[in-house]
Amino acid sequence: MKLIASSAHITGATGQNSIEIANDADPREVSLAGVDRIDLHFPKFTDGRAFSQAFLLSRRLGFKGEIRATGDVLVDQLAQMERSGFTSAVLRADQPLDVAQRVLSSYPGYDVGKYQGDAVQVKPHFVVSA
Res. 8 pLDDT band, cuts 50 70 90: confident
User: What does each C-alpha distance from 83 to 37, 76, 77, 128 come to in angstroms?
Assistant: 18, 13, 10, 21
Mean pLDDT, to the nearest integer, of 4-18?
76
Distance separating alpha carbons of residues 59 and 102, to the nearest angstrom: 27
CATH classification code of 2-21+33-114:
3.40.50
Q: How many CB atoms lie within 10 A of CB 51?
A: 21
Tens digit of each residue's pLDDT (9 = 90 or more) over 29-61: 999 999 999 999 999 989 999 999 999 999 999
Mean pLDDT, to the nearest integer, of 15-19?
81
Tens digit of each residue's pLDDT (9 = 90 or more) over 55-97: 999 999 999 999 999 999 999 999 899 989 999 999 999 999 9
User: What is the full DSSP assignment across 30-79?
Assistant: S--TT--EEEEEESSTT--HHHHHHHIIIIIS---SEEEEEES--GGGHH
Res. 118 pLDDT band, cuts 50 70 90: low
Mean pLDDT, to the nearest integer, of 7-36?
85
